[in-house]
Amino acid sequence: MLETNPFSILAETVSPFAMQSFIIAMILLIAFGTIIQMIHHKNLTYFLNNAKKAKLQATREIGTGERVSILAKTAVVDIGTTAELGFGKRRLSHVLGMYGTIIFWVSSAMLVFCYTGADKSSSTIWSMLWHAGAILTCIGGYWFWFFLRVDVSAEAHPWYRIIKADLFVLALLACSTFGLAWSYAQFNGQVGLSFLFLTLFVTANLVLFGGVYWSKFAHMFYKPGAAIQKNLAEADGSRDNLPPPADVPEQFGLGIKREEPKHY
């Protein structure tokens, strides 16, 4: 199953053009939802105003070489490894989910556009990456959902409590879960289950990409921008109008040793 391209089998009943059009439509939904959210919530205005304020408060000029170095370090460390979460389970679950999702999305596009159709060759590597990406997303996502969410692990709410902020992670998990279930059922010739899971897979994608305006999907674009702005502000001395760290030992008292810190 892992070496099989599920979209190639689907092409026997659904044209590759329809699948390609669906992916393009999902990309347009991301762009549309993000733009509308930026206009309504004024996120771009906030970042631009913050950048202007930081420039006025800067105590030193950052050279081109240093700026490039800061951008590269931010991309590799802060964004690429979600360093803001520190070391621990939350960071690991986010990394698994993030890279799993990226692999899943990229391999989906590659399989549909390059390896699906009567005149197209097959690709074992991309098929395995598609399944591996979905599995990694499920591991990181379900680990986070059941055990690591703040309102579950620190605020004692039940794992099945759902709020609007959960739309993104639940839709993401639904896409990966139903995608794997569809691939398995299709590989084993279970026509009824295959159609059911395919329908759920398509529906989950519509909710995920069509619900960008209402979910935390757009945070994937905001957080890198915020990380870059933060590191640049620390380098030029503006520090977002915050005082520099005190040059004294950290003193939290003995109470911090009584329990593992989990109050975010």
Tens of each residue's pLDDT in the chain, 264 residues: 878 888 888 888 888 899 999 999 999 998 888 888 878 777 767 777 777 777 777 777 778 888 888 888 888 877 777 777 666 787 888 888 889 999 999 999 999 998 887 777 788 899 999 999 999 999 998 988 887 777 666 666 777 777 777 788 899 999 999 999 999 998 888 888 889 999 999 999 999 998 888 887 777 777 777 787 888 777 777 776 677 777 777 777 776 667 666 655
Whether 49 is covered by a domain: the verdict is yes
- Residue 248 forms part of a structural domain: no
pTM of the model: 0.80
Q: Is residue 254 part of a domain?
A: no
Amino acid 120: pLDDT: 77
Q: Is the dihedral of CA 152, 168, 179, 141 positive or negative?
A: negative
Q: Are 8 and 124 in contact (CB under 8 A)?
A: no
Q: Which domain holds residue 40?
A: 6-239
Which pLDDT score, from 0 to 100, does residue 213 have? Answer: 81
Instruction: Count structural domains, the chain.
Output: 1
Note whether 133 and 103 are within 8 A (CB): yes
Q: What is the pLDDT of residue 262?
A: 61
Domain membership of residue 148 (yes or no) is yes
Q: Please indicate, yes or no, if residue 244 is contained in any of the structural domains.
A: no
Is residue 263 one of the residues assigned to a domain? no
The strand ranges marked E within 62-210 are: none
Burial class for 212, CB neighbours closer than 10 Å (0-12, 13-18, 19+):
buried
Map residue 132 onto helix, strand or coil: helix
In a domain, 255, yes or no: no
In the prediction, which pLDDT does 168 show? Answer: 87
Cα distance from N-terminal residue to C-terminal residue, the chain: 41
- Return the pLDDT at 139: 93
- Look at residue 262 and tell me if it is in a domain: no
